[in-house]
């Protein structure tokens, strides 16, 4: 009944009758005195919004919306502030991100003494045997710079196994208890692609590099359901505080999805989640007949995520030509791609089952191979609205832009990583290849659809940083104030559209999300400043004042 009246209200509103309100129907919420950027081509700007239940029933001038006010209507006065559609992060690792918010962060520990003290303080708050993870430490902060050792922390952590990452993720410090649990001793051989750092006597110092970290990672128990739930709640609160109203969660373990489903059933999700588990398990979804965008407005399945290669930072992104600063390698294809026939068979099967494909590809050769696979799949399974995606799409060979567009492949990109990698990417791949690196402008010019995201926790979840990065391309080291490869800047309108409607399209949700328009889900944010009129450099400091998801306020500053 209640639902019928909303539908009637939306229908009448959509019909555009002079009196847009169905008689007897009042809005649950009206947002007034707003400077609305709708993202909707029909009506770009508006002053007020009316909401019934989870949906927007009207958007317009102050007087249009006044008609929706009833005795029980709640008014949210936006105070003249900028209102935009809720941000949709097209690529996150949600539970990892939430877990990291609870971990120790040692990035700003200025001395080895402070580093050790913080670890000791944290250990006192933990149960015996519970692993201390996180870290994010940076030995380059110390004078003189030197790698930490287990001796610095052993006495402070007698019953706490410790494994703390260097900020770049390529080294980690274990205490003696963690080494013991992992069986790492003076006799342990260095694995291929890794090193056990040793002292003069040949004994492990506690620092393990790259592949050697695997020995400890293997013995860290997976999080309990309580831990996962805790991480999801932390992540949801964080998202709400940043105006992120939808996330697309890449490679969640099924245990995470079970937690989302519980929360969805209890009506406790405050962010909408689309989950894309590993492609290697595609049959799990296919067996159940789950296909693209299956689920509810709060939780969807029906996509799979895979990897074609590694990353630029670790020289494992796969290129046609060798790395400029490491001429002995051109990167690595992922295990999933070897042999290629099996990857092709899995992806073709997944596509045939109606699942959406999202594949991580960073180097130009990896991207090219995925485009090859995608065209073979289209040929094999026939035309369909499948919205194939390439995640990251960082370094694209000039010859591949047209193919990208012709196949309708969505570029799911993370602009913050451009201003982060932009500090050193040219040293790594040379001046020619950086021209088509993070090539957002070229992609748009060629007609490729962008979906914006962060890869959180690899980059911060804050959409204002993502928008700032896309429009300024000002690297984090301050060395490119006018933009690194400035030809690839996009406009703020394009960036906001890509982070809202673009991301919604990438999850088949553009009819329900991504703009502020009649009939759409009432997901929107009120900002502290007008991003469209301030200097682009100031966008990174803009705060979210209010976040509304499905007509409910989920965050208020
Ligand atoms: Zn990722």
Residue with tokens 């019928």: 4
Q: Residue 501's pLDDT is what? A: 98
Which helix (H) or strand (E) covers residue 59, if one does?
strand 55-60
CA of 455 to the centre of ligand 1 (A): 5
| Span from the CA of 97 to the centroid of ligand 1 (angstroms) | 11
Least confident of 271-275, 310-314, 418-422: 310-314
Q: What rounded mean pLDDT belongs to the chain?
A: 94
- Average pLDDT value for residue range 339-343: 96
Cα separation of the two ends of the chain: 35
pLDDT score of 9 more than 80: no
What's the full length of the chain, in residues? Answer: 557
Q: How far is the CA of 92 from the centre of ligand 1 (A)?
A: 6
Whether pLDDT at 346 is above 50: yes
CA–centroid distance, 133 to ligand 1, in Å, is 20
Q: Does 344 score more than 70 pLDDT?
A: yes
106-124 average pLDDT score = 95
Instruction: Characterize 394-429 residue by residue with b for buried, 16 or more Cβ atoms within 10 angstroms of its Cβ, and e for exposed.
Output: bbbbeebbebbbebbbbbbbbbbbbbbbbeebbebb
Give the pLDDT mean for 131-146: 89
Residues 127-131, mean pLDDT to the nearest whole number: 94
Which pLDDT value is given to residue 24?
67
| Ligand 1 centre distance from Cα of residue 456 (Å) | 7
* Distance (Å, whole) CA 442 – CA 488: 7
Ligand 1: distance of its center to the CA of 375 in Å? 24
pLDDT single digits (tens) 447-469: 999 999 999 988 999 999 999 99
pLDDT at 168 over 90: no
pLDDT of residue 7 exceeding 60, the answer is no
Q: Which of helix, strand or coil describes residue 360?
A: strand
Contacts (Cβ under 8 Å, ≥6 apart) of 327: none
Report CA(169)–ligand 1 centroid distance (Å): 14
How far does residue 491's CA lie from ligand 1's centre (Å)? 25
Tell me: the pLDDT tens digits for 462-496?
999 999 999 999 999 999 999 999 999 999 999 99
Q: How far is the CA of 358 from the centre of ligand 1 (A)?
A: 11
330 SS3 class:
coil
* Coil vs helix vs strand at 374: helix
CA of 552 to the centre of ligand 1 (A): 29
Task: Indicate whether 42 pLDDT > 70.
Answer: yes
Residue 7 CA to ligand 1 center (angstroms) comes to 38
What local confidence, expressed as pLDDT, does residue 230 receive?
95
Residue 231, C-beta contacts closer than 8 angstroms, at least 6 positions apart: 95, 96, 98, 99, 101, 102, 223
Evaluate the CA torsion angle 414, 420, 426, 428 in order and state its sign. Answer: negative
Q: What is the mean pLDDT of residues 138-146?
A: 87
pLDDT per residue as tens digits for the range 411-457: 999 999 999 999 999 999 999 999 999 999 999 999 999 999 999 98
Q: Note whether 83 and 77 are within 8 A (CB).
A: no
How confident is the model over 36-53, as a mean pLDDT? 96
Determine the distance separating the centroid of ligand 1 and the alpha carbon of 372, expressed in angstroms.
Answer: 22
- Between the CA of 348 and the centroid of ligand 1 the distance, in Å, is 22
State pLDDT tens for residues 196-219. 999 999 999 999 988 899 999 999
DSSP labels, 171-222 = EEEE-HHHHHHHT--TTPPPPTTEEEEE-TTS-EEEEEEEGGGHHHHTTSPP
- Nearest Cα neighbor of 153 from 181, 123, 109, 127 is 123
Q: Please compute the mean of the pLDDT values over residues 115-137 and round it to a whole number.
A: 95
> Tokens 């805790």 correspond to what residue?
230
**Closest by Cα among 418, 424, 423, 460 to 441:** 418
Residue 22, pLDDT score: 59
d(CA 125, CA 132): 11
User: With b meaning 16 or more CB within 10 Å and e meaning fewer, what string describes 370-385?
Assistant: bbebbeebbeeeeeee
**Considering the entire predicted model, what is its pTM?**
0.89
pLDDT at 4: 44
Alpha carbon distance 330, 285 (integer Å)? 35
Work out the pLDDT band at 292, boundaries 50, 70, 90: very high
Distances in whole angstroms, Cα of residue 503 to Cα of each of 69, 87, 106, 223, 496: 32, 9, 33, 30, 10
Q: 218-235 pLDDT, tens per residue?
A: 999 988 999 999 999 999
Task: Give residue 15's pLDDT.
Answer: 46
pLDDT at position 3 over 50: no
Helices (H) and strands (E) in the chain, counts: 18, 26
């Amino acid at each position: 009944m209640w639902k019928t009246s909303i539908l009637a209200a939306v229908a009448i509103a959509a019909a555009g009758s002079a009196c847009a309100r169905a008689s007897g129907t009042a809005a649950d919420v009206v947002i007034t005195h707003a400077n609305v950027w709708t993202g909707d081509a029909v009506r770009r700007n508006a002053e007020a919004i009316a909401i019934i239940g989870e949906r927007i029933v009207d958007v317009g001038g102050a007087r249009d919306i006044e008609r929706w006010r009833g005795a029980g209507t709640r008014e949210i006065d936006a105070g003249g502030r900028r209102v935009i559609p809720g941000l949709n992060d097209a690529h996150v690792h949600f539970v990892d991100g939430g877990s990291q918010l609870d971990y120790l962060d040692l990035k700003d520990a200025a001395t080895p003494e402070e580093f050790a003290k913080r670890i000791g303080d944290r250990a006192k708050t933990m149960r015996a045997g519970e692993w201390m993870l996180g870290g994010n430490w940076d030995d380059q902060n110390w004078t003189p710079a030197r790698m930490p050792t287990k001796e610095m922390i052993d006495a402070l952590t007698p019953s706490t196994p410790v494994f703390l990452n260097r900020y770049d993720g390529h080294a980690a410090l274990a205490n003696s208890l963690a080494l013991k649990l992992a069986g790492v001793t003076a006799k342990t051989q260095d694995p291929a692609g890794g090193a056990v750092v040793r002292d003069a006597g040949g004994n492990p110092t506690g620092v393990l590099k790259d592949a050697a970290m695997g020995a400890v990672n293997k013995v860290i128990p997976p999080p309990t359901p309580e831990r996962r739930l805790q991480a999801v709640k932390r992540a949801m609160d964080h998202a709400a505080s940043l105006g992120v109203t939808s996330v697309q969660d890449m490679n969640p373990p099924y245990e995470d999805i079970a937690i989302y489903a519980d929360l969805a059933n209890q009506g406790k999700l405050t962010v909408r989640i689309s989950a894309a588990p590993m492609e290697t398990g595609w049959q799990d979804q296919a067996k159940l007949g789950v296909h693209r965008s299956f689920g509810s407005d709060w939780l969807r399945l029906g996509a799979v995520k895979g990897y074609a290669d590694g990353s630029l930072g670790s020289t494992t992104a796969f290129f046609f030509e060798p790395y400029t600063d490491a001429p002995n390698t051109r990167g690595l294809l992922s295990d999933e791609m070897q042999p290629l026939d099996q990857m092709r068979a899995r992806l073709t099967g997944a596509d045939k089952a109606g699942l959406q494909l999202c594949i991580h590809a960073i180097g130009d050769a990896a991207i090219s191979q995925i485009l090859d696979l995608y065209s073979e799949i289209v040929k094999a399974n026939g035309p369909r609205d499948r919205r194939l995606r390439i995640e990251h799409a960082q370094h694209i060979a000039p010859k591949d832009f047209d193919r990208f567009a012709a196949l309708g492949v969505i570029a799911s990109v993370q602009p913050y990583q451009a201003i982060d990698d932009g500090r050193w990417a040219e040293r790594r791949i040379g001046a020619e290849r950086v021209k088509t690196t993070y090539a957002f402008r070229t992609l748009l010019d060629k007609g490729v659809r962008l979906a914006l995201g962060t890869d959180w926790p690899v980059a911060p979840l804050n959409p204002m940083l993502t928008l700032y990065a896309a429009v300024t391309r000002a690297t984090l080291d301050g060395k490119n104030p006018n933009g690194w490869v400035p030809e690839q800047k996009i406009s703020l309108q394009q960036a906001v559209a890509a982070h809202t409607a673009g991301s919604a399209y990438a999850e088949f949700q553009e009819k329900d999300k991504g703009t502020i328009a009649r009939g759409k889900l009432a997901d929107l944010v009120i900002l502290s400043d007008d991003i469209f009129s301030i200097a682009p450099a100031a966008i990174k400091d803009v705060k979210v004042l209010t976040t509304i998801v499905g007509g409910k306020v989920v965050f208020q500053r």
